Structure 1
Amino acid sequence: MTEELYRVPSFALLCALGTVFGALYLRARTMQRLLWLTGWLLAAAQLALRIWHPEMTPAARALSNACFELIPLMFLGSVSPLRFRGRVPYVAAFGFPLLVYAVLGSLYPVPGAGIKAVLLVCALATVYTGIHWSSLKNLAPVWFTAPFSAAVGLVCLVLTWNGRFEETLQLAHSGIFLMTALLFVLAYRRLSPGVIFTVCGLLYWGLPLYFFDLATIAHATAAALIRTLSLVKVVTAAGMIVLVLEEELAANEASRQRDHRARIELEQYSRLDLYLDPYRDVVEHYDSICETIVAQSRFSQAAIVLCNADRVYGLAGKAGMEGALQGALHALAGRLTPDRIREFSRTKYFQFEIGNTARVDLSYLFEPGDELKLLNYTTAYVVPMYTRSGMLEGLVLLSRLRDAGTPLRADDVLPLELLVARIAAARESNLLVQRVVQSEKLAGLGQIAGGVAHELNNPLTVVLGYAELIQDSDADDAMREYAQVIREEARRMKRIIESMVRFWRPSHGDPGMAPIDQIVHDIEKLRRNELERKGIDFQVCVADGLPGVRINSDQLRQVLLHLMNSSISALSEMPPDEERRLKVEVRRAGRRVQVVVSDTGPRGVDPIHAFDPFFTATQAGEGVGLGLSICYSIIREHGGEITASNLLPRGSAVVIELPTHAGTGADRLQGEVVA
């Protein structure tokens, strides 16, 4: 016992360092720290057995040898966390037969045939698992690990066959420590104090055990080696603690850098003007947003896909993409609908990974021979864009992750998710502001129109009367012809003034309930043959079970026919070989019914001025520009809303929202946001 007292200081230091490991583990409960803590507790337990049981009874020797083999296994498992057949950690599959071997070899130094057979089976199982483990892709090259494991295992099998069980355990112990030291070097790849102390300690810890019989060495040398080994254990433990602290410092520095990058990213996003200028090109607007995302985030490719008023998606913006990829994404976006995206989100191809960011496999949406597959654009990250009512308004596609070896973290996508939420809010705000400004502007224009109509009506009546008197007089034919021209133009002016009065002072009274589905189907029967002769693809989609809407039926028919005529006029300007589509869709939108009249014409609309009196996108002489303003007046008169928007990549749409009851002011602000 006295000879073993030199181990007491080492034991005390190991216990103190084990306490430090325990505190570090409680700070961050990782598997690596748990394995290290277990390894050092086993080292302290083995040292305690050496101190208080120096005579080493068979049971004490079995326990000591079990700790002796498990210590390096804990450290090895911490840097090689592979699993056997995908379920059991290799350290467990490798350690169990080795542990049985250590216990039986210690309890039965001179075993019988049965015990020796069990020892051989355990040795074979350990060698097989070790070779299989080392042949897998890991930190160390397989060309070294597999031959090394095979060589050590072969020697261990020979020693076991010859009954040299202690030497087998010593060789296995040393081989594990050597492999552990190599993996530590490859895992950390730096010359820091923690790595140097840990690797040197592990190498020295296994070094004396390469000598199978310490009795062949001089007694003083052997004693010095063994006593130095106790000190090396303490140095190795201290090195691992320093290594943990270095990792924490590195993690804190990396976290600080990530926070700094995220703050800069948020600052850059906050400088973006997300409110779409009505005079700015939509694609240009969203292209600039995508360019900022590519410049500030970890993604080198970004695209924004938005839902059009006709519930078909379009590519609104992109950055970091070549022309072929842009075209392929345009085609993919054009095939998407809210229902198809909803179906896609319920499949295994759409998996949320971090927060509101999902990793998607786009191959689910591909068609045979899809160009995206040829371009190897099959996976991407997606941030959905929702309105406040929970409707999916669009998607932000992110791909080509920079520093792909570093996994995506929450602080990498949080600024993007906040940006997407701001984009959705800005789009809703744009629509609300557009409606308010339009309402106030047209109210002012209505008062002006009413005043102008009142002032012009009286002198125009005089002009018309005198023209009739001249026409009925005995004047010559030329004079009567001039009077007829004056009379016709005066009547045309009177019709325009009546329209202005209609815009300013709509009629009142109960309009009744109009069967909107029947009205749309009647218009379809009336116009389908004409549109087919003109080569226009006329699509009508009416939802089932629609309630009646509170509007005069004749006036609703007038509005729809005017909108269709405007679309037909735009489509007629297109070459016959291009897609010419006119679509009328009727659907529920909360407590309102929504009618969308869209086309793929080349004109587009000006959302700000589309409903202004005398504003027209047609050529001179084709109209005075009161049609849409009258439509606006009719819809607003009945408590509805009407907005105009451009579609992606081409076309325009007018969205009408009508109440199914006597709508309130709050109801007028409900409805789906359109692109």
Structure 2
Amino acid sequence: MPDSYHLPALVLTVLLLPAFFQLYLRFRDAWTLLWFLGFFFAAIRMLQFYNLGAWNYSNTETHPWIAAVGQTSILISSALFLASLAPLGFRVGKIRILYAIPFAIPLVAYAFLIYGLYGGGTPGGLPFLIFPALGALSLFAGCAWAISFRGIPRGIPLALCIVLGAAGLWICVRVGGAWPLTFVECATHFVTAMLVFYVFRRVSPGTILASLGFLGWSLNIGQTLPFMHQGEPGIWVIRAIAMSKVVAAIGMILLALEDQLAINQTGQLRERHAREEMEAYARLNLARRRVEDFDRQAATVCQAIVSNSRFHQAALVLLQNTGHYRLAGAAGFDDATINALDALATRIPVSGFLDSGSQAAVEHSLAINLDLTPFLVPGDDLTRLKLTTVHAIPLRGRTSTEGALFLTGIEDPSKPVSAVDLLPLEVLASRLQSVRGQTMMLEKLVESEKFVGLGQLAGNVTRQLNNPLTVILGYASLLDETEDLNPQAHKAIEAILNEARHMRLTLESLARMSRPQGDQVAAISVTELLNDLEQLHRSEFVQRSIDFRVHISPALPRVLGNAQQVRQAVLYCLQFAMDAVERLDTTNEKTVRLEAVAENNQVQILVAHSGSRFPVPARAFDPFIPEPAGDESSSLGLSMCASILRENNGKASALNFEPRGAGILLELQAA
């Protein structure tokens, strides 16, 4: 009689195979692949095991090798289901082998021998010992598999494996035939049913159906009982066992969908948190007029990071004009850690710090796993405090790293940091770098505008002081010509005259600088122009402790150009030179030289300094390219200087000196 009640189970199982294959193509994980293969081999067993009328290979005596293939298929299927929930293995060289493979190989050999060679019966004599030996090998692999299981005491899975294995060996010796293989299949399904709840750790439709399906599948050993083949109740039990395969398949499909739904929900929560985090950072008021004021709010920025991100500790390190990093602000650390980080920041080299070749902490992220060990000193407090690695998000300028966000103290370390967690912080770091760079340029532009206002101030001062100074000179000259004055009085009057004449020279320099030129091109006295600049700005060099040296060749020819514009260009170069030498260490000599010589039909003005060299002299006059590295705003003044020289038929070029120092050479056409 054909097993027609088995046909729905077979058809439904076969129809669900494309669903498992689609799940594997969609998720590309080991679970869905092993589940697809497991039900594929189960369907092969059902085709061989069931009496389907025209398709009937259930007679093991007539089709021994087909029976061997069917028994092998169900053994492999059960091992694959167990391996999907316990994917443990060992290594042979560079190859990782799952324990399911050495567990299943002896059983497969058992099936082919018992069916293919002995027709389903148990041989006597010495050949009989082959089968207990194969069972023992499989039991040994199963025990190793159980010992490797993590998360629960090793004794529990090992004891279960020994008990079930011993029962299988007893059946092999006492009953013989293929029943030991059927017992192993059912025992494997029973263990799989228990692992479903342990692995997925939830009570859901998927776990309930999958567990019930495998429990029902494990009752297949009950078909050895006589009542299972007598009467209507036994037929319904057999039908339930057949349909349990479909229930297990539906349960596993639901498990895959539930996991994907959980992943999607987690992703949505992360995206919403990231959006709220970015909105919180967007509310930070970062606009400031001076760089020092901007850096003072670093602690506020770090506190916002600690309050809104997954990181409970944050620190902001910024590059200063001195050419060293400094801890600008921190949040979430104790005082000892803050002091240790502040000392460490000064030891970080600017060159190569967090360069683009560093390994990213998370794929598709700018953050870097930074090892602080190379920057530590013996006995460093950070070693004692066990803070030797951080997540670092660089603040990249155009030629160097202008700072970094140090992040640590992650919330819930069991969940790894993802690119979504770091994205808002990377956006914040980019905004910090951009706003700080704009603040530096604004500050430099404000300083440059002071030179423009200086001309107007000079004109007002000249007009207000000229008349009183003329009176002073006149009366002092009259007093000096008086004959009845004693030598001491003559000496005092001479001092008044000398200082008044010196003031007159200063006022004349101010008058020349403030005299409106418009766009008129005229013959300019370079000697007079540079002497005026020296006299008016030497005090600023003295105030900054900079050695200002001036050398002007005698009898310099005049040059063609706009006097106000040329003066402004030289001022830009002097300001750049002062900024460059101020970044030097205090141990180095701070020197600025202003020289002028005649060369062929040109006058060359050199503004040299003992500061940093130009990394790329050819690009020194490009706008917004920091030259030297670390001062992005200074390049704007040099760019304007080059533009002024071009408008006055001249050119500007950058030079590097050996062993150190650099300069700007201005070349103007002689009149």
Which TM class, normalised by the smaller chain length?
A: 0.7 to 0.9
How far has the Cα of 1:65 moved from its partner? 1.6
Equivalence for 1:228: 240
Q: What is aligned with 1:622?
A: none
1:84-123 map, 5 Å: 84-85=90-91, 87-108=96-117, 109=120, 110=122, 119=131, 122-123=134-135
Distance 2:6 2:97 in 1: 36
1:69 aligned partner, one-letter code: L
Out of 382, 385, 394, the residue aligned to residue 403 of structure 2 is: 394
Aligned to 1:194: 206
- C-alpha distance in 2 between matches for 1:568 and 1:364: 26
Residue of structure 2 equivalent to 1:443? 452
Q: Residue 351 and residue 479 in structure 1: after superposition, are their counterparts in 2 closer, same or farther (change >3 A)? A: same
Shift in alpha-carbon separation, 1:134–1:430, aligned structure 2, 3 A: same
Which whole-Å deviations, capped at 9, do the CAs of 1:474-494 have from their partners, x for residues lacking one? 465686676466446545645
Measure, in 1, the Cα distance between the counterparts of 2:440 and 2:652: 15
For 1:528-580, what per-residue CA distance to the aligned partner results, in whole angstroms no more than 9, with x for missing partners? 9xxxxxxxxxxxxxxxxxxxxxx99xx979966996799979x9xxxxxxxxx
Task: Tell me, yes or no, if the aligned pair for 2:323 and 2:583 is still in contact at 8 Å.
Answer: no
1:559-570 paired onto structure 2 within 5 Å: none
* Structure 1: tracts of 5 or more residues without a match: 513-526, 529-550, 572-582, 599-606, 611-628, 642-655, 664-675
In 2, Cα distance between equivalents of 1:597 and 1:198 = 64
- Calculate the aligned-residue CA RMSD, in Å: 4.5
Correspondence for 1:268: 280
SS of structure 1 residue aligned to 2:351: helix
- Structure 1's 565 and 126: CA in aligned 2 closer, same or farther, altered over 3 A? closer
For 1:563 and 1:395, how far apart are their aligned partners in 2? 25
Deviation at 1:26, TM superposition (A): 2.6
Deviation at 1:27, TM superposition (A): 2.4
User: Which range is displaced more, 30-39 or 216-225?
Assistant: 216-225
1:404-553 equivalences in 2 (<5 Å) = 404-457=413-466, 459-474=468-483, 483=493, 486-487=496-497, 490=500, 493-494=503-504, 497=507, 500=510
Residue in structure 1 matched with residue 349 of structure 2 by the alignment: 337
Distance change >3 Å, CA 135–CA 360, structure 1 → 2: farther
Secondary structure at 1:321's aligned position in 2? coil
Which entry has the higher C-alpha Rg, 1 or 2? 2
Check whether the contact 1:311–1:337 (CA below 8 A) recurs between aligned residues: no
The answer to whether the 8 Å contact 2:110/2:131 transfers is yes
How many angstroms apart in 2 are the aligned matches of 1:424 and 1:294?
19
Query: In the alignment, what sits opposite 2:71?
Result: 65
Residue in structure 2 matched with residue 179 of structure 1 by the alignment: 191
Matched letter for residue 170 of structure 1: T
3-state SS, counterpart of residue 343 of structure 2: helix
Corresponding residue of 1:588:
615
Residue type at the aligned position of 1:430: T
**Is residue 54 of structure 1 aligned with residue 58 of structure 2?**
yes
The alignment partner of 1:247 has SS state of helix
Quick one: which amino acid aligns to residue 71 of structure 2? N
Alignment of 1:376 onto 2:386: yes
Q: Return closer, same or farther for 1:15/1:451 CA change in 2, 3 Å cut-off.
A: same
Contact 1:84 1:90 in 2 (8 A): yes
Tell me, what secondary structure is at the counterpart of 1:150?
Answer: helix
Matched positions, count: 568
Q: Do 2:78 and 2:188's aligned partners in 1 also have CA atoms closer than 8 Å?
A: yes
Using the alignment, how far apart are the partners of 1:266 and 1:561 within structure 2?
36
State the percentage of identical aligned residues. 29
Which of 217-226 and 396-405 deviates more? 217-226
Give the CA deviation at 1:336.
0.9
Question: Are 1:564 and 1:597, in contact at CA under 8 Å, matched by a contact in 2?
Answer: no
Measured against aligned partners, the alpha-carbon deviations of 1:416-466 in whole angstroms (never above 9, x if no partner) come to 222222222222222222233332343123332244235534542442343
- Larger CA deviation: 91-100 vs 493-502: 493-502
Cα distance in 1 between the residues matched to 2:408 and 2:208 = 40
- Cα separation, partners in 2 of 1:469 and 1:152, compared to 1, 3 Å: farther
Give the superposition deviation at 1:71. Answer: 2.1
Query: Residues 310 and 283 from structure 1, CA distance in 2 versus in 1: closer, same or farther, beyond 3 angstroms?
Result: closer
Q: In 2, Cα distance between the equivalents of 1:364 and 1:165?
A: 68
Match of 2:267, SS state, is helix
Alignment map for 1:343-382 (pairs within 5 Å): 353-382=363-392
Alignment of 1:128-207 (within 5 A): 128-157=140-169, 159-160=171-172, 164=176, 166-207=178-219
Per-residue CA deviations over 1:175-230 (Å, capped at 9, x if unaligned) read 32233223221222222111111122222221343x58334766345443322111
Distance 1:462 1:566 in 2: 48
Cα distance between partner residues in 1 of 2:331 and 2:74: 59
- Aligned partners of 2:264 and 2:98: how far apart in 1? 30
TM-score, with structure 2 as normaliser: 0.72
Partner Cα distance (1:224, 1:390) in 2: 79
TM-score by length of 1: 0.72
The residue aligned with 1:6 is: 5
For 1:564 and 1:249, how far apart are their aligned partners in 2? 60
Q: Which amino acid aligns with 1:74?
A: L
Residue 472 of structure 1, CA deviation: 4.2
Match of 2:550 in 1: none
- After superposition, the Cα gap between the structure-2 partners of 1:335 and 1:99, relative to the gap in structure 1 and judged at 3 Å, is farther
What letter is aligned with 1:60?
A: I
Label 1:35 to 1:383 Cα distance change in 2 as closer, same or farther (>3 A).
same
Which of 375, 398, 412 is residue 403 of structure 1 equivalent to?
412
Structure 1 distance, partners of 2:102, 2:4, is: 37
Instruction: State the SS of the aligned residue for 2:443.
Output: helix
Deviation digits for residues 11-65 of structure 1, max 9, x if unmatched?
A: 1111222222233333222221111222222222222222332224222222222
Q: Deviations along 1:107-156, whole A, 9 cap, x unmatched?
A: 24435888766655543443333222222353444231122223333444
C-alpha change, 1:416 and 1:488, in structure 2 (3 Å) is same
Take 1:376 and 1:104, find their aligned partners in 2: how far apart are those partners?
A: 61
Alpha-carbon deviation of 1:297? Answer: 1.5
The 1:479–1:182 alpha-carbon spacing in structure 2 relative to 1, beyond 3 Å, is: farther
8 A Cα contact 1:360 1:380, kept in partner:
yes
Output the CA distance in 1 between the equivalents of 2:79 and 2:309: 41
1:375: Cα distance to partner?
A: 0.8
Give SS of 1:306's match. Answer: strand
CA distance in 2, matches of 1:489, 1:4: 126
- Distance in 2 between the 1:157 and 1:444 partners? 102
Distance of aligned partners of 1:157 and 1:19 in 2 relative to their CA distance in 1, 3 Å threshold = same
Kindly provide the amino acid, as one letter, of the partner of residue 246 in structure 2: V
Kept in 2: contact 1:381–1:398 (CA 8 A): yes
Whether the aligned pair in 2 keeps the contact of 1:362 and 1:379 (CA below 8 Å) is yes
Q: Which residue of 2 aligns with 1:516?
A: none
